[in-house]
Chain A
Amino acid sequence: MTEVVGPSGPARQQLMRTMNEQLLLDHIRRAGQVSRADLARISSLSKPTVSGALATLERAGLVRVSGTRTGVPGPAAVLYEIRPDAGFVLGLDVGRKYLRGAIGDLSGAVRARASLKAQGEGGHGRVAQLVHLTEQLCAEVGIDRDGITQTVLGSPGVYDPGRDAIALAGALTGWERPRVLAQLRHAFGTELMMVNDVDAAALAERARGHGTDVESFAFVSVGTGIGMGLVLGGRLHRGAHGAAGEIGYLPLGHEESTDERDARRRGSFEAAASAAGIVRAARRTGMRGPVSARHVFAAAGRGDERAAKVVADEAALVAKAICAVVTVADPDLVILGGGIGQAAGFLDAVRAQLRDIAPVQPELRVSALGPDAVVDGCLAAGLDRAWELVTAASTGLPESTGAA
């Protein structure tokens, strides 16, 4: 054990106590519920020191008694846990059709969930709706908006420091105006964390989906929009500009025809392989009437040859994109998500195509997470930050400047 070198006397004692408190907090968080004796054993601190630190932490509202341990020989031991209400994380997902949100507490438990159908186009309306959603969630938990320790917004696109605005927001019209970011900061504070929505879903896959026990994986979402979250060495890889995973911009597409305007706006691959791209491809084969990606897949399932060709072409295209991911980053696993990615039979079609073109074969799985994935990823992203804020504030240690 390294010796702590520092000032001696009363000031040093202060430092020692807060360091001990931090140590105990980390142990309690990891263990869930622990007794004083457990803590003394794990931390190698004396029982009186542990008692003193626990008392301070209880007074600060960080720790509370959770119960007693019975059923073992000897007197019942009092158990301590992190007080869940010591901090709250607000996770928000702004999509094209739905706005979703949830509030989680410091223990990681989700305390409230809600969603709203997005109304109208334009960014301004959505910010107001996000505030409305937030108020609803706070009311359900029984806290003020001030009680939120950290807010994380899952949004399409990336932050563009050159314009101080969100960029590459794809189908979310109006979201890229600088005014929108200003309104978000005004509504949620300047400490608002923004995470790309597909990156957030990747975090959810890492926390409780297929990504829990691999070193590296790519979460590829194909639906109304297209994106990827890349986890390398267990951590999200955001890239130098936060744009790692913007695979909509891969130079892939239907070589016979491209919607030039769409390709310029959101990348050739996204223009070709998103739901809108499937609809265009279906129309090119002669399919008439109300056509959506869902219709095309259903028709293919019923044996419609034209629809089946469209689906096969789509699988080939998505396989090419995954091949690009493999040849650059070679992850252990690729998880396919989004409305198209999760369509029945699609993964098998992609796997068959990938075998012919990729130099190595990753494991391929369909995401088992539902529409709450983005919000849950935001909660996961915010929890570490909230923990840092709450514990540093209470124990008086300077906040770490390193990112969680």
Chain B
Amino acid sequence: MVVNGDSTAGAILSVLFDSEPLTRPELAARTGFSRPTVADAVRRLVDVGLLDEAGVRRGRLGRVPTTYGVAGTAGYVIGVDIGGSNLRIAVADLTGTVHLERRQATRGTGARQVATHAALMARDAVREAGTGLGPLRRVGVAAPGVIHADGRTMSTAHNLGDDGPFDLLTPLEEEVDAPVVLDNNVNLAALAEAWRGHGAGVSTFAFLAVGAGVGMGLVHNGEILRGAHGAAGEVAYLPLPGAVPHAQRPGHGRELLVAEAGGYAMLAAVTAYPDWDGTRPSTVEELFSQSAAGVPAARKLVEDEAHQLGLTVASTCAVFDPELVVLGGGIGSNPQLLPAVRHTVAALVPFPPRLESSALGEAASLTGALRIALDGAREEITASLPASEAAAG
């Protein structure tokens, strides 16, 4: 992995990024390097401020060994989630521990205004983090559109009120003094699910995000499947029974018909429902509550939604055959959907996948944004370690 630089130090950092503080003998055991080599590398890492003494390990006879961990001032990362309704931001240290989280309602329309708002939130987060965590190393951004191959331009962000390609990166880069990396919010939610959710250890799975609309992140052999045009997972365009072809939709945007899955469609279905026993729900949350309480109309609409999602999952299985499908997003995470989705899938898919509700809820994309920021920051730190004077190994 390390091209030039210090491979022992790199190995030690790799271990400590994802573990509690360890003693030098433990580090030697985990990395396979000799104790003197490890001791040497640890000293160098302490000297450059990447490691510090975390404490001592008690409870044993004999000498009390010192444990070493990633230094509290070694640096931090920022994750940003740009959503249609909310902007979320989090600050985490290099081990992934979150120190700060903020949320604000998305103001304004258009990608430019929202990007500016996100940039200001990032600037405020940097100010709040101060110097206590060390330098800002990287910013990861989850955005609700297709990210182009250049890594900076985003298209088709319907829920920001835009359609054309927009350079999302520049406003953010202007406000923070660290590299910024951008990816689609559903892809990042899938990554988060692989890191801290049901997808841990599963090499091939799908994350179906259901919010205002639907989108899917696919993980193939542990990596996000983007597709030739960045359109892998654009399942809102699946030709399901009753769906209207996208070229014929009014406004070419997310004005959807009842047949399509997602929050907009559910509320449209409530409005279109002929007779409602009691007050019509005005939010999807209210619809779910009424369904749980046994209101027949509410229950039917929830089942209809689950059926549409089931068709989406079945289509994904026919093409991709994942081991696991996780339902997430503000609406998708609701466990009420699961039985009917499983029922539809079982009827259509010869070898059904495991189906779960995401436990990450609305934090999924933000968690994914932190993940890519962490990956980038760790890689850069490891790659820029100066080569040791003594021969490696």
Contact = CB atoms under 8 A, between A and B. Distances in A.
Given A168-B350, A360-B231, A251 B319 contact: no
Nearest to B324: A240
Given A249-B350, A356-B245, A329 B237 contact: no
Interface string A290-312: 00000000000000000000000
Contacts of B216: 328
A326 interface: yes
Contacts of A325: 319
Contacts of A356: 245, 247-248
A228 B348 CA distance: 17
A21 interface: no
Q: Which of B216, B228, B319, B320 has the most CB of A within 10 A?
A: B319
Contact of A249 (B227, B248, B348): B348
Nearest to A244: B321
B169 interface: no
Interface residues of A, number: 46
A230 B232 CA distance: 13
B362 interface: no
Q: Which of A168, A246, A328 has the most CB of B within 10 A?
A: A328
A250 B353 CA distance: 15
Contacts of B63: none
A144 interface: no
Interface stretch (B120-128, B308-316, B330-338): B308-316
Given A330-B230, A357-B237, A243 B247 contact: no
A374 B237 CA distance: 32
A331 B315 CA distance: 16
Interface string A273-291: 0000000000000000000
Chain B interface mostly helix, strand, loop or mixed? loop
A328 B321 contact: no
B204 A240 contact: yes
B351 to A, nearest CB: 4
Contacts of A248: 318
A391 interface: no
Contacts of B319: 228, 230, 244-245, 247, 250, 324-325, 328-329
Given A237-B220, A239-B322, A331 B350 contact: no
Contacts of B235: 327-328
Nearest to A242: B321
A18 B232 CA distance: 45
B256 to A, nearest CB: 14
Interface in A350-377: 355-360, 362
Contacts of A238: 321
Interface residues of B, number: 42
A320 B232 contact: no
Interface string B159-188: 000000000000000000000000000000
Contact of B321 (A240, A255, A267, A362): A240
B318 A240 contact: no
A327 B229 contact: no
Nearest to A319: B239
Nearest to A362: B228
B234 interface: yes
B239 A241 contact: no
A232 B246 CA distance: 26
A150 interface: no
Q: Which of A242, A248, A249 has the most CB of B within 10 A?
A: A249
A144 B313 CA distance: 49
A155 interface: no
Contacts of B225: 232, 329
A175 B225 CA distance: 35
Given A357-B245, A359-B246, A243 B228 contact: no
A329 B232 contact: yes
Contacts of A251: 240-241, 311, 314-315, 348
A328 B220 contact: no
Contact of B320 (A255, A320, A329): A329
A228 B240 CA distance: 19
B317 interface: yes
A215 interface: yes
A238 B203 CA distance: 13
A336 to B, nearest CB: 16
B348 A330 contact: no
Nearest to A320: B239
A35 B234 CA distance: 53
A237 B320 contact: yes
B323 to A, nearest CB: 4
A340 B48 CA distance: 67
Contact of A327 (B230, B231, B323): B231
Given A240-B321, A249-B348, A357-B237, A330 B228 contact: yes
Interface of A: 158, 160, 167-168, 215-216, 228, 230, 232-233, 237-252, 255, 267, 320, 323-332, 355-360, 362
Given A228-B319, A239-B204, A240-B323, 18 more contacts: A158-B351, A230-B320, A243-B321, A245-B319, A245-B321, A246-B350, A247-B319, A250-B319, A251-B241, A251-B311, A327-B231, A327-B238, A329-B319, A330-B229, A330-B231, A359-B246, A360-B228, A362-B228
Interface of B: 204, 216, 218, 220-221, 225-241, 245-248, 311, 314-323, 348-351, 353
20 contacts: A168-B350, A232-B220, A232-B225, A233-B220, A239-B204, A240-B204, A243-B321, A250-B314, A251-B241, A327-B236, A328-B216, A328-B233, A330-B227, A330-B230, A330-B233, A331-B228, A355-B247, A356-B247, A357-B239, A359-B234
